[in-house]
Structure 1
Amino acid sequence: MELLNATLKQIKGLDKNIAEQAQQKVDALCKPLKSLGKLESIAIQLAGIYRKLELDVTNKAVISLAADHGVHEENVSNNPQFVTVMQSLGFAKGFTGVCVIAKSAGAKVIPVDVGIKEDLPKDAGVIIKKVKYGTDNMAKGPAMTREEAIQSIEVGIEVANEQIKNGMNVLATGEMGICNTTASSAVLSVFHQCDPSIVTGKGAGVDSIEHKISVIRQAIQVNQPNPDDAIDVLSKVGGLELGGMAGVVLSAAANRVPVVIDGFISTVAALIAYQLEPKVKDYIIPSHFSEELGAKIANQVLGIEPLLHMNMCLGEGSGAALAFPLLDAASAMMNHMTTLEESQQYMQQIMSKQQSI
């Protein structure tokens, strides 16, 4: 709890003075006003985060946290839990969806075991930060204790702090965990105070959406999570990787680093971080509109508008990695694009030389 409290105290809002300067610079560029749309808002946000107009988003990393879920016992997914192990090892080898997209963007993928049911080989290339061997079955009782929920958040903070210390200046959240759409839908249902049917989709595959919804209803009824206490919600119906991703968001905000969030599951994790400290929203860059049913509401609750419409719902951090080049473009615009005044001066110089010939 000490690390979490210290991190929360460290979080401040954007540098509004620098953001205003960035707005003035963007408006002065040689283009019609607002004509570069969201690239302009990204550049202004980045300037406010970094507290400078010269932007550097060179070193990017997707932190993908993996964990299993005890609610798998309720047959809410067609996939065996071994897929969590398989994909986590795939992150380390570099051949999963997020890895190939991240590689194309010049970014790293950092896989973390925060709660996989099995023990991974120590030399597999996955950071081992296991809080417990998967959550307990939330349909029968709390997914984890309050202390374990806090520990999962602090794992995310620790890993993100280390990556930032090693030079990463852009982070993204990713995940792996069979049944984590079940936990995410449960968390969102509690925060939004709506019936699970409104926010529950098929996830990676399930025979009966109705059954999945009924299990989530049962979990909420059994545990009675307090919507005004984010840690209570996480501990009772959440997941260890959700806590870990929330920690990554908190660390990014505390260290004044932008954090690109992926789709539905990452957005719910960001919502947990937001419930703990609303100022984290200043540091969040939402990547894409996920096809998962609850994603639209999760975006609305958090008050964000993702950048891309790609009909994706893979997870892993894949959509976040896909959005990395947009940060590069926004930074290039801010750093290298000429202003209208500079262009006019250059034109006058050229015309003067032409007339003197």
Structure 2
Amino acid sequence: MKITIVAGARPNFMKISPIIKAIEKLRTEKNPISYRLIHTGQHYNANLSDTFFEELQIPHPNENFNVKSGTQAEQTAGIMIAFEKELTENRPDFVLVVGDVTSTMACSIVTKKANIALIHVEAGIRSGDITMPEEINRMVTDSITDYFFTTSEKASENLLKAGHSKENIFFVGNVMIDTLLQNLTRIKKPVFWDDLNLTSKNYYLLTLHRPSNVDDGSSFIELLKQIMEQAEEAPIIFPVHPRTQQILAETQNEFKNLHLVEPQGYLNFIYLLKNSQAILTDSGGITEEASILNVPCITFRNSTERPETCELGTNVLVANDKEKISQAFEKLKNGKWKETQNIPLWDGKASERIISTLLKIHYG
């Protein structure tokens, strides 16, 4: 069985790492598996790309397309051209894509036009917000996928409602949690930890990158002001995404307890998350990690494609609503934040379920 695995951006790296480990663990002489790893180069900052391969012990990719920056259309076109050539020269039995980034959608389209079976890991999740590029990527990818591996029963239901066959939908759990649990003993303090006098639970961790939050400089600064007001004197650690760094550079700000740091490697970031008083974010994947680590999570979005993080985890949606933000911080400071409940199949074994299922599909 030959599988081509695609990764392109930071969230992808955490998802492919346990899948590759599962392949190494489960392949046998009777059921051989080989794979090629393709890095599209969608994320090209070393801390957003190369570091993750090293820290998560991911093998060096067989090919790196190095598409780098550009508009979404330019990135999509560059990835599709390069991936078409890759599949022509190295045709697999399956192409496996993960998540919902531009690389996921682009390589899915090329795969189906080449009449190769397509596997989507983290299929079926939906935010209901069509203005998000990721939502479009999910919808397009799932519309042409052959085998769906889902993180929740809700995601499986979404696919059934869309008319996909039950026989091709597999609820296996969350590969992001596989990576989290595999690496918890390896997390490490960032270099700035001591310089900023950080101690466990005395600071907030902030990540913001969505266009709806950061593209408008004035509204971005207004959101930061609300956060600073609620955080009072507590330090706020803000690993700045490249797109956000550019906007901040154009805007004057004087937030004395806001500490801008470089994008963090996985082991440093999880250390910061695990030890924070709360995570303040507009990310989707981070809400999953926060929930498993039982860290309070305040999300500056109106909707989420991961409702289980709100229903069973530590996540609360506040959008940019000043009253909701205030209420969330009040609950946090009063020690009344909800505890994580058991989230089905988020147990660190999702990747093994995926590879076991593919072996049955291919070899019978």
**TM-score (structure 2 length as normaliser):** 0.36
Higher relative contact order (CA 8 A, sep 6+): 1
TM-score (norm 1): 0.37
**Greater per-residue strand proportion:** 2
